Amino acid sequence: MGTANGQQPAAEGASSDKLRHVESMSELPSGAGKISGINAVVLGESLAAEENDLIFPSSDFSANALVSSPKQYREMYERSIKNPAGFWSEIAETFYWKEKWNPAEVCSENLDVTKGPVQINWFKGGKTNICYNAVDRNIESGNGDKIAMYWEGNEPSQDGKLTYSELLEKVCQLANYLKSLGVGKGDAVIIYLPMLLELPIAMLACARIGAVHSVVFAGFSADSLAQRIVDCKPKLVITCNAVKRGVKPIFLKDIVDVALVESEKNGVSVGLCLTYENQSAMKREDTKWQPERDVWWQDVVTKFPTKCDVEWVDAEDPLFLLYTSGSTGKPKGVLHTSGGYMVYTATTFKYAFDYKPTDIYWCTADCGWITGHSYVTYGPLLNGATVLVFEGTPNYPDSGRCWDIVDKYNVTIFYTAPTLVRSLMRDGTEYVTRYSRKSLRVLGSVGEPINPSAWRWFYNIVGDSRCPISDTWWQTETGGFMITPLPGAWPQKPGSATFPFFGVQPVIVDEKGQEIEGECSGYLCIKKSWPGAFRTLYGDHERYETTYFKPFAGYYFTGDGCSRDKDGYHWLTGRVDDVINVSGHRIGTAEVESALVSHPQCAEAAVVGVEHEVKGQGIYAFVTLVDGVPYSEELRKSLIMTVRNQIGAFAAPDKIHWAPGLPKTRSGKIMRRILRKIAARQLDELGDISTLAEPAVVDQLIALSDC
């Protein structure tokens, strides 16, 4: 990726006003219309329909927003960059600290591997506890009777709720039980649970006593779970006997049993498996049991006291481990610490969703991923929010389930993934429009770049063209949002993550690590640290430095490609390792996928690179069509022409592979590794497909290889 329009990289030390475009948009229009060739759309007044739409917040929305203008954002952002210690200390002081940090040492860092080991510290020496701040502090402020969490089960008839006071009692009971086992500060606990309330309860209980939780998504295979057990050597594993995903039962305890046997073969023996009886999925008498190792949650935890002392920990003490897949080798144990993560997740949640105390917030993510840590559990509760926890699937019993839930609980903030948006698009608008959704106020997108056509559908249909979309870019490693709209502050462009959050300094660099100014494309890096940054990879600091800090010395390398347009808006183009080099042209797979999905008959697309004897690499596209649309040669040509028209002839797919469905994990992530093997005809190297939501999709794709 190089500079656009032949621009040269900025000279070292050169300064530029990167936020001038924000200031110029401080005068919001009173209605829709053209502004310098741009189609201006105002919330609640018209639909987003064109490629170059600019969606402005309405004057009413901005007037009530936490950040209500480009001018206010600019002032706060510039302070956060010029005086990060003062900016973040002021926010940190709104939380409870048993002991304050040294004001002269709010932050210390070295991101330059040429100057010594990489290290990041925020509020070091300060003593706090994230569980106390997320739960006790809300009760002490008079919100003990406020609903902390609603729970919606797999079946629409299953639901529950906990006030902040009730949540604290359950957290304390589990914390006391863990203490009775000898679990204490610094000990690891593996949590392998579905989206029951017991999952965030278990996270908070660990945090309360200073234990380090490692949540493993309850869709991972026994081998994957065993890898994580061997790496962090937990004192115990917490799971449940089974869960239902739609009509399909998943026997989690059986998976744990296999993983524990495998772990023992690799020298790590876990002596206790605490198992929650999930009666709606499986009775305890049907559960395989090892009496010397297995214990029922309901038999022991409920007998412990409902009050538990807090373990005060240093801001830089470990809070949790979360394993993320590397492109090669074993999973990486991303380590987050307590103080900075607490301050950052709370602040990003508050501003990116324009949070109000009356909001009902629903994030569809599983706590097995970073989104479930930061924006199901910690970020919302630190703000005293009411959170919805959903166990089921968004298309069960039908594709209207999400909007049924929105109406049932009067959800005001809805945060989900582009994969889900595209899936619901495919099923048709009638599943959306049969529900009111009038409670919705802010929408959010997470996990991958959202293509403009899906953005517009989300905005027009789900939000009735009156809800801004917080299209957030961030990573497991960053802990919280890095580039994101602030809903009332500036206009949005469909598909763009817009501008950096407070304290975040994104830069785009070329292959040599030179910063590029203005309109350009390149590698996205961050200079200077932020409070939510991860501190290391567990047990492998060398890999931490090699992966994230050696590619461009002095910067955190995100691994993502990014474009910045003439107005300064950021457009994420996908992982750099998901970039295809076609005849010297570097093409982001997300860019091609977005072009394909803009075709009215394409519901979803996934693009991978394949070897090409002339071009080096060719573009291979798996395409899922809208229901009822037949495969045809004419449509194939039309899809290719769409890409040619939107990106250029060099980006035209060499192959369109019809796909009734795509191989996805149960969280909705497309498994491109499998698609690459199918495209390359390496069918004996597909690996483990048992973790897929629908393993049969793989056979369907293989059968359609030559169609």
pLDDT of 548-588, one tens digit each?
999 999 999 999 999 999 999 999 987 787 778 776 666 87
Q: Per the domain annotation, does 632 fall within a domain?
A: yes
The answer on pLDDT for 11 being more than 70 is no
Identify the band that residue 35 occupies on the pLDDT scale cut at 50, 70 and 90. Answer: very low
The answer on pLDDT for 3 being more than 50 is no
**Of the candidates 476, 506, 536, which is a domain's last residue?**
506
Per-residue model confidence (pLDDT) at position 325: 62
Mean pLDDT of the region 119-128: 97
Locate all alpha helices (DSSP H) within 428-585, ordered by sequence: 430-433, 452-457, 541-548
Instruction: Give the β-pairing of 520-526 and 585-588.
Output: unpaired
Q: Pick from 426, 443, 458, 474: which is nearest to 629 by CA?
A: 426
Contacts 24+ apart (CB under 8 A), 97-103: 97/126, 97/127, 97/128, 98/127, 98/128, 98/129, 98/312, 99/125, 99/126, 99/127, 99/312, 100/126, 101/125, 101/126, 101/315, 101/339
Tell me the per-residue pLDDT of 610-645, one tens digit each, with 9 for 90 and over. Answer: 988 777 789 999 999 999 999 999 999 999 999 988
% of the chain beyond a pLDDT of 90 = 77
Q: Per the domain annotation, does 453 fall within a domain?
A: yes
Per-residue model confidence (pLDDT) at position 668: 77
* Catalytic entry in 309, 577, 688, 699: 577
- Which residue carries 């003062």 as its tokens? 86
Say how far apart CA 637 and CA 340 lie, in whole Å.
52
Tell me the per-residue pLDDT of 287-319, one tens digit each, with 9 for 90 and over. Answer: 999 999 999 999 999 999 999 999 999 999 999
- Which residue carries 């759309």 as its tokens? 41
Whether the Cβ atoms of residue 459 and residue 494 lie closer than 8 Å to each other: yes
Query: Could you tell me if 482 and 626 lie in one domain?
Result: no
Structure tokens at 506: 């994104």
Q: Per the domain annotation, does 543 fall within a domain?
A: no
Q: Pick from 558, 556, 560: which is nearest to 579 by CA?
A: 560
Q: Per the domain annotation, does 570 fall within a domain?
A: no
In the annotation, is 60 catalytic?
no
Identify the band that residue 48 occupies on the pLDDT scale cut at 50, 70 and 90. Answer: confident
Instruction: Give the β-pairing of 413-416 and 360-363.
Output: parallel
Q: Pick from 541, 184, 531: which is nearest to 378 by CA?
A: 531
The count of other CB atoms within 10 Å of the CB of residue 102 is 10
Query: Could you tell me if 499 and 598 lie in one domain?
Result: no
Number of domains in the chain: 2
Instruction: Give the β-pairing of 520-526 and 556-564.
Output: antiparallel
Contacts of 598 (CB under 8 A, 6+ apart): 451, 452, 453, 642, 646
Q: Pick from 100, 77, 95, 99: which is nearest to 87 by CA?
A: 77
The answer on pLDDT for 508 being more than 70 is yes
Q: What are phi and psi of 687, to 5 degrees?
A: 75, -160
**Of the candidates 489, 506, 523, which is a domain's last residue?**
506
- The structure's pTM equals 0.85
Mean pLDDT of the region 392-415: 96
Query: Could you tell me if 446 and 589 lie in one domain?
Result: no
Query: Could you tell me if 482 and 591 lie in one domain?
Result: no
Q: Per the domain annotation, does 552 fall within a domain?
A: no
Coil, strand or helix at 94: coil
Identify the band that residue 4 occupies on the pLDDT scale cut at 50, 70 and 90. Answer: very low
Whether the Cβ atoms of residue 388 and residue 411 lie closer than 8 Å to each other: yes
541 secondary structure, DSSP code:
H
Per-residue model confidence (pLDDT) at position 115: 97
307 secondary structure, DSSP code:
-
Q: Per the domain annotation, does 7 fall within a domain?
A: no
Per-residue model confidence (pLDDT) at position 221: 81
CATH number of the CATH domain containing 218:
3.40.50.12780
Q: Pick from 117, 91, 85: which is nearest to 103 by CA?
A: 85
The answer on pLDDT for 436 being more than 90 is yes
CA distances in angstroms from 382 to 138, 197, 342, 481, 484, listed in the order given = 8, 17, 8, 16, 20
Structure tokens at 88: 């973040």
Question: How is 112-136 classified by DSSP, letter by letter?
Answer: -GGGSS-EEEESTT-EE-HHIIIII
**Of the candidates 470, 487, 506, which is a domain's last residue?**
506
Query: Could you tell me if 460 and 587 lie in one domain?
Result: no
Contacts of 187 (CB under 8 A, 6+ apart): 211, 212, 234, 235
Beta bridge partners of 295: 274
Locate all alpha helices (DSSP H) within 49-163, ordered by sequence: 59-63, 70-82, 84-92, 130-131, 137-138
Say how far apart CA 145 and CA 161 lie, in whole Å.
11
The answer on pLDDT for 274 being more than 50 is yes
Coil, strand or helix at 668: coil
Say how far apart CA 669 and CA 687 lie, in whole Å.
17
Q: Pick from 647, 650, 640: which is nearest to 599 by CA?
A: 640
Query: Could you tell me if 502 and 587 lie in one domain?
Result: no
- Which residue carries 């990879």 as its tokens? 537
Mean pLDDT of the region 389-397: 94
Per-residue model confidence (pLDDT) at position 6: 33
Whether the Cβ atoms of residue 171 and residue 296 lie closer than 8 Å to each other: no
Q: Per the domain annotation, does 573 fall within a domain?
A: no
CATH number of the CATH domain containing 622:
3.30.300.30
Strand locations in 325-461 (E): 332-337, 360-363, 386-390, 413-416, 442-445
Q: Pick from 6, 61, 652: which is nearest to 356 by CA?
A: 61
Per-residue model confidence (pLDDT) at position 5: 35
Instruction: Give the β-pairing of 506-509 and 520-526.
Output: antiparallel
Whether the Cβ atoms of residue 559 and residue 575 lie closer than 8 Å to each other: yes
Query: Could you tell me if 588 and 468 lie in one domain?
Result: no
Q: Which run of H or of E encompasses 422?
A: helix 418-427
Per-residue model confidence (pLDDT) at position 582: 79
Mean pLDDT of the region 172-191: 98
Q: Per the domain annotation, does 357 fall within a domain?
A: yes
Say how far apart CA 707 and CA 699 lie, in whole Å.
14
Going edge to edge, which strands form the sheet with 442-445?
159-163, 147-152, 386-390, 360-363, 413-416, 442-445, 469-471
Say how far apart CA 255 and CA 259 lie, in whole Å.
6
Domain that holds residue 115: 77-506
CA distances in angstroms from 620 to 295, 582, 658, listed in the order given = 50, 12, 11
